[in-house]
Amino acid sequence: MKKEKNENLIAQNKKAHHDYFIKDTYEAGIALTGTEIKSVRARRINLRDGYVQVINGSAFLENVHISEYKQGNRYNHEPLRSRRLLLHKKQLQRLAKDQSTRGIAIIPLKVYLKHGFAKVLIGVGQGKKKYDKRESIKKRDQERELRRQYKI
Protein backbone atom coordinates (compact mmCIF):
# COMPACT_ATOMS: atom_id res chain seq x y z
CA MET A 1 0.00 0.00 0.00
CA LYS A 2 1.26 3.48 -0.86
CA LYS A 3 2.20 5.69 2.09
CA GLU A 4 0.14 8.79 2.72
CA LYS A 5 1.72 12.15 3.34
CA ASN A 6 1.80 13.21 6.98
CA GLU A 7 -0.13 16.40 6.21
CA ASN A 8 -3.16 14.27 5.27
CA LEU A 9 -2.97 12.23 8.47
CA ILE A 10 -5.77 13.31 10.82
CA ALA A 11 -5.56 10.82 13.71
CA GLN A 12 -3.60 7.72 14.60
CA ASN A 13 -4.18 4.94 17.12
CA LYS A 14 -0.67 4.56 18.56
CA LYS A 15 -1.68 1.96 21.15
CA ALA A 16 -3.00 -0.44 18.49
CA HIS A 17 0.41 -1.83 17.55
CA HIS A 18 1.28 -2.11 21.24
CA ASP A 19 -1.87 -4.06 22.12
CA TYR A 20 -2.36 -6.17 18.96
CA PHE A 21 -0.49 -8.15 16.32
CA ILE A 22 -1.88 -6.54 13.15
CA LYS A 23 -2.39 -9.28 10.55
CA ASP A 24 -4.29 -7.50 7.78
CA THR A 25 -5.29 -3.92 6.91
CA TYR A 26 -8.14 -2.47 4.88
CA GLU A 27 -8.82 1.06 3.69
CA ALA A 28 -12.44 2.11 4.11
CA GLY A 29 -14.42 5.26 3.53
CA ILE A 30 -16.51 6.68 6.35
CA ALA A 31 -20.11 7.89 5.90
CA LEU A 32 -20.06 11.23 7.75
CA THR A 33 -22.50 14.10 8.12
CA GLY A 34 -21.57 17.69 7.28
CA THR A 35 -20.57 18.77 10.78
CA GLU A 36 -18.65 15.52 11.32
CA ILE A 37 -16.38 16.02 8.30
CA LYS A 38 -15.71 19.60 9.41
CA SER A 39 -14.68 18.35 12.85
CA VAL A 40 -12.51 15.65 11.29
CA ARG A 41 -10.74 18.21 9.12
CA ALA A 42 -10.14 20.25 12.29
CA ARG A 43 -8.48 17.11 13.76
CA ARG A 44 -11.11 16.72 16.51
CA ILE A 45 -11.29 12.90 16.42
CA ASN A 46 -10.17 10.25 18.91
CA LEU A 47 -9.62 6.61 17.85
CA ARG A 48 -8.33 5.27 21.16
CA ASP A 49 -11.24 3.02 22.20
CA GLY A 50 -12.71 2.47 18.74
CA TYR A 51 -13.52 -0.81 17.08
CA VAL A 52 -15.28 -2.10 13.98
CA GLN A 53 -18.34 -4.33 14.06
CA VAL A 54 -19.89 -6.17 11.10
CA ILE A 55 -23.69 -6.35 11.40
CA ASN A 56 -25.95 -7.77 8.64
CA GLY A 57 -23.30 -7.38 5.93
CA SER A 58 -22.40 -3.78 6.84
CA ALA A 59 -19.38 -2.57 8.82
CA PHE A 60 -19.79 0.09 11.49
CA LEU A 61 -17.18 2.15 13.28
CA GLU A 62 -18.11 2.11 16.96
CA ASN A 63 -16.94 4.14 19.97
CA VAL A 64 -14.90 6.66 17.95
CA HIS A 65 -15.31 10.16 19.36
CA ILE A 66 -15.69 13.02 16.85
CA SER A 67 -16.17 16.26 18.78
CA GLU A 68 -19.09 18.52 17.99
CA TYR A 69 -18.43 21.27 15.47
CA LYS A 70 -18.34 24.63 17.26
CA GLN A 71 -20.36 26.47 14.60
CA GLY A 72 -22.78 23.56 14.09
CA ASN A 73 -25.56 24.86 16.39
CA ARG A 74 -28.70 22.69 16.15
CA TYR A 75 -27.39 20.66 13.18
CA ASN A 76 -24.59 19.16 15.24
CA HIS A 77 -24.01 15.43 15.45
CA GLU A 78 -23.79 13.02 18.36
CA PRO A 79 -20.07 12.53 19.19
CA LEU A 80 -20.13 8.73 19.78
CA ARG A 81 -22.65 7.56 17.18
CA SER A 82 -22.05 4.50 14.97
CA ARG A 83 -20.65 5.41 11.57
CA ARG A 84 -21.03 3.19 8.51
CA LEU A 85 -17.84 2.10 6.74
CA LEU A 86 -17.76 1.85 2.97
CA LEU A 87 -16.10 -1.39 1.87
CA HIS A 88 -16.33 -3.86 -0.99
CA LYS A 89 -18.54 -6.90 -0.52
CA LYS A 90 -15.64 -9.38 -0.45
CA GLN A 91 -13.84 -7.28 2.16
CA LEU A 92 -16.99 -7.24 4.29
CA GLN A 93 -17.26 -11.03 4.02
CA ARG A 94 -13.61 -11.45 5.10
CA LEU A 95 -14.13 -9.05 8.02
CA ALA A 96 -17.28 -10.91 9.12
CA LYS A 97 -15.34 -14.18 9.06
CA ASP A 98 -12.47 -12.63 11.04
CA GLN A 99 -14.88 -11.12 13.56
CA SER A 100 -16.42 -14.51 14.29
CA THR A 101 -12.96 -15.92 15.12
CA ARG A 102 -12.17 -15.88 18.83
CA GLY A 103 -9.38 -13.53 19.93
CA ILE A 104 -9.54 -11.37 16.79
CA ALA A 105 -10.36 -7.66 16.97
CA ILE A 106 -10.99 -5.22 14.14
CA ILE A 107 -9.68 -1.79 15.12
CA PRO A 108 -9.14 1.58 13.43
CA LEU A 109 -5.46 2.42 12.98
CA LYS A 110 -5.48 5.77 11.16
CA VAL A 111 -7.87 8.37 9.81
CA TYR A 112 -6.65 10.49 6.91
CA LEU A 113 -7.88 12.53 3.97
CA LYS A 114 -7.47 11.14 0.47
CA HIS A 115 -8.65 13.25 -2.47
CA GLY A 116 -10.84 15.24 -0.08
CA PHE A 117 -12.57 12.18 1.41
CA ALA A 118 -12.08 10.88 4.95
CA LYS A 119 -10.65 7.36 4.96
CA VAL A 120 -9.94 5.02 7.85
CA LEU A 121 -7.28 2.30 7.85
CA ILE A 122 -8.66 -0.63 9.82
CA GLY A 123 -6.58 -3.53 11.02
CA VAL A 124 -7.45 -7.10 11.88
CA GLY A 125 -5.45 -7.83 14.98
CA GLN A 126 -4.92 -10.55 17.52
CA GLY A 127 -4.51 -9.41 21.10
CA LYS A 128 -1.05 -9.53 22.65
CA LYS A 129 -0.36 -11.10 26.00
CA LYS A 130 1.53 -9.20 28.68
CA TYR A 131 4.83 -10.96 27.90
CA ASP A 132 4.44 -10.11 24.18
CA LYS A 133 4.05 -6.43 25.09
CA ARG A 134 7.17 -6.51 27.28
CA GLU A 135 9.09 -8.20 24.47
CA SER A 136 8.06 -5.56 21.92
CA ILE A 137 9.07 -2.75 24.34
CA LYS A 138 12.44 -4.42 24.86
CA LYS A 139 12.97 -4.82 21.11
CA ARG A 140 12.02 -1.17 20.46
CA ASP A 141 14.45 0.04 23.14
CA GLN A 142 17.27 -2.06 21.66
CA GLU A 143 16.64 -0.65 18.19
CA ARG A 144 16.59 2.88 19.58
CA GLU A 145 19.92 2.28 21.37
CA LEU A 146 21.50 0.90 18.17
CA ARG A 147 20.37 3.93 16.18
CA ARG A 148 21.72 6.23 18.88
CA GLN A 149 25.13 4.49 18.84
CA TYR A 150 25.51 4.60 15.05
CA LYS A 151 24.31 8.20 14.85
CA ILE A 152 27.15 9.48 17.05
What pLDDT shows up at residue 7? 60
Predicted TM-score of the model (pTM)? 0.80
The DSSP result for 49-79, as a single string, is T-EEEEETTEEEEES-EEPPPTT-GGGPPPT
What pLDDT shows up at residue 17? 84
User: Domain span at residue 46?
Assistant: 8-151
What pLDDT shows up at residue 4? 46
> Which CATH number goes with the domain that contains 32?
2.40.280.10
Query: Does the residue 3 lie in any domain?
Result: no
Report the domain count for the chain. 1
Query: Does the residue 1 lie in any domain?
Result: no
What pLDDT shows up at residue 60? 94
Which residues partner with 108 through β-bridges?
122
> In whole numbers, what is the pLDDT of the chain averaged over residues?
87
Where the chain has pLDDT below 70, the residues are 1-7, 152
Residue 73 burial class via C-beta count within 10 angstroms: exposed 0-12, middle 13-18, buried 19 and up: exposed
